[in-house]
Structure 1
């Protein structure tokens, strides 16, 4: 008698609950076809899995692969064979055979988790326990597909600016590792509400999620919405843990994410697809380099880039030359590294401008600025960036943008610096050292 399937067969286009957020099982329609989002465990993508994604993009879609700002991948332009695509990805081990269990796998780690010289502990074992708990606990499947957790081990390469519903961050006290935590905030601006010893980390995550589901209404799908009506003190009172409230804030020590990255042993190399878009050839080529000169894996990052880990320093230059020949950006000084752009009007019905094409025009004019310092958004939803960039160009019509500069005193994108600008006019204003932008 044949073994029964792990779960009853479920049409890939049907999810146990409605959501506009793409997933592995949930193919969401867009102007350029369907979108499938592949949620990677801590951003980890094995070389063979990278090949499978490249194959899927060619066989079932239009060949467009995107790195997301949550360290995941998505395939765009998907045709009618949704089941074939999903089964192909599941066969490569790129998700569970349960759509609800896949939806909640929103756990961000450092791209150098377990390898960063500055880390206080290796977050990967605890991250695995958290992901197993999220996947296997039916009650947690009620969480929004956007509900997100961050686990920070004190790495130098860490995303500090993305807001999370719950974050945990390592600190050392009297020879022990503790986890300070915060709610509905980011590591850079969030208040640490307390701390627990590292060995209680999994219990803390479970307790916070249970408490959220106990208190939140169906309309309150995110922690920030609940805390608008529920005092944080009341939320904390219901946690069945003893919490130390004398915790300290995390030092802001994020390092660059492109180029050579230090490891405890060997080196890593950060590379980025232009404007977050990978071709199948790029992804296959990066997988080949990872097999030949690295550890056979890639790490996706929240900066829409890739990290190849455990490279032999003797092979660094040939690896970099091979990746650059594929069209990947390998250093921070490249103009395209300074620009982030959403899909734009060519792929999204809500887009007011072709941001990808305009970003290419703009990048050619920029000679100053840090990586990711200019964000082109085709509508106010800001899909390409989960935090506010130093400069944002918000589309108002094809080829026309309003320019905002980040200002902590003002909500949203910040202070309006110029209105109804072409990419060329915006480039002339932005191609100045940072200290002169406010002049």
Structure 2
């Protein structure tokens, strides 16, 4: 029988209280279950970026916010201000509050359910569950309103709303099977699924952080989870995991909803907002919207509750401030890890090279693949699905179209050739394989 992969070190995933020491100072990661933020909470984050960090807010691939460049000894002040804003409801559960949710749920007339109540109740249950503190800071819960955007991320525990909104499918990682549960039981069922994962680890003696790290025969079984649910008074039924059409991230721009209400969807270049840009976005929510912001797992932000004229005016102002407001922007779908000088493991200043490349790129076309620059083989924060992997090698860059861990096409280039190589790789319908020029071309 296979055993889960061992981990030679403990999970060092940072949190709001467990800071990570980087070359540019300490780093804090603030969890935002469901990506949900109030106007006041968003304002507090901007103040923290200016007062304690380097004046920026970085968005992560799980819809969380990072503060970098924190000074030594600021942890107590940071924690106190986060608690005061309701952003740190439980010190012990800080790092396990990873909940990604469909950011357009309830806004555009698509999807089968407004999953925000699920996100809030799941967070409450997580903070009340002492046993779940054994989860890794990388374990991800996903709440999908039925459009398939969150399911495409393959979270460890996924709940997918079904047509009619009265039921949901509960899935473990990439497994082929699912359980059908009532919608009102979704948050409790998600917690019980996480407990089942931990039970598998205890029984097998493994130290896996994610469901996908387990051998298929060791992944939590639907029948065992069904028994656990039944013991808690939750009914379920096994069903094959249907081939759900996988949805796309919200495109930048205006989002029309029912009842004459609109939202704006924006992103920052390489997922990094200045405090000034963040405040401009926050004022949009507080002055004209519903007082809510939704941070997405694709390093963007959605602000709901606007009228059509206000949405148009705000998009223009946000574009003038340097934010991404159109899917035609070459910056749309582009990301990068910290790179040099912030990360000692990086082989290049990937953010500078990515910026130079994207500034020279032509506008993107429909369906352009996401692209991510990585300074080393760890590829911290890279997207899932099919994407363009730009990997620093210490002797130029390796550019590959990648699906999960498999490469489809590969080219080598210098930093000077990145624009052409990346543009060709992002084309969703290439006419022929392309090899970029450079010392290895």
Structure 1 residues 84 and 177 mapped into 2: Cα distance closer, same or farther (>3 Å)?
Answer: same
Matches within 5 A, 1:78-157: 78-80=70-72, 81-96=74-89, 98-155=90-147
**CA–CA distance in structure 2, aligned partners of residues 116 and 152 of structure 1:** 14
CA RMSD of aligned residues (A): 2.4
Residue 213 of structure 2 aligns with which residue? 225
**Structure 1 residue 152: deviation in Å?**
0.9
* Aligned counterparts of 1:73 and 1:26: Cα–Cα separation in 2: 14
Using the alignment, how far apart are the partners of 1:82 and 1:102 within structure 2? 14
Alignment correspondent of 1:169: 160
Instruction: Measure the CA separation in 1 of the matches of 2:101 and 2:64.
Output: 12
**1:154: Cα distance to partner?**
1.6
* Contact preservation (8 Å) 1:171, 1:178: yes
Distance (whole Å) between structure 1 residues aligned to residue 273 and residue 110 of structure 2: 30
Which is further off, 352-361 or 190-199? 190-199
Greater CA drift, 377-386 or 202-211 = 202-211
Q: Which residue of 1 aligns with 2:243?
A: 249
Cα deviation, residue 125, structure 1: 1.8
Please, which moves more after superposition, 82-91 or 343-352? Answer: 82-91
Cα drift, residue 231 of structure 1: 5.5
Distance of 1:87 and 1:437 partners within structure 2: 56
Quote the Cα distance in structure 1 between the aligned partners of 2:104 and 2:250. 12
Q: From the superposition, tell whether residues 406 and 437 of structure 1 become closer, same or farther in structure 2 (CA, over 3 Å).
A: farther
Preserved CA contact (<8 Å) 1:365 1:428 = no
Shift in Å at residue 24 of structure 1?
1.0
More moved, 352-361 vs 105-114: 105-114
* Equivalent in the alignment of 1:181: 170
The answer as to whether partners of 1:64 and 1:77 remain within 8 angstroms in 2 is no
Does structure 1 residue 201 correspond to structure 2 residue 195?
Answer: no
Match of 1:405 among 377, 401, 420: 401
1:431 is paired with a residue of what secondary structure? helix
Deviates more, 1:85-94 or 1:232-241: 232-241
Partner-residue secondary structure (3-state), 2:156? strand
1:299 to 294, 297, 307: 294
Q: How does 1:376-415 map to 2 (within 5 A)?
A: 376-397=373-394, 400-407=396-403, 412=405, 414-415=407-408
Moved more, 118-127 or 194-203: 194-203
* Residues 223 and 430 of structure 1, relative CA distance in 2, 3 Å threshold: closer
Aligned to 1:68: 60
Matches within 5 A, 1:358-437: 358-367=353-362, 368-369=364-365, 370=367, 373-397=370-394, 400-407=396-403, 412=405, 414-419=407-412, 421-432=413-424, 433-436=427-430
Q: Report matched runs for 1:314-325 at 5 Å.
A: 314-325=309-320
Distance in structure 2 (CA, Å) of the matches to 1:63 and 1:371: 31
Q: Are the counterparts in 2 of residues 402 and 416 from structure 1 also a CA contact under 8 Å?
A: no
Q: Residues 377 and 393 of structure 1 are in contact (CA less than 8 Å); yes or no, is this contact kept in structure 2?
A: yes
Give the C-alpha shift of residue 269 in structure 1.
Answer: 0.7
8 A Cα contact 2:142 2:151, kept in partner:
no
Aligned partner (choices 327, 343, 346) of residue 351 of structure 1? 346
Q: Which runs of 5+ in 1 are unaligned?
A: 1-16
Task: Say which SS state the counterpart of residue 237 (structure 2) adopts.
Answer: coil
CA distance in 2, matches of 1:231, 1:375: 30
Equivalent pairs, count: 410
| 1:36 CA displacement | 0.6
Q: Where do 5+ consecutive residues of structure 2 fail to align?
A: 1-8, 231-235, 434-441
Tell me the TM-score normalized by structure 1: 0.86
Deviation at 1:150, TM superposition (A): 0.4
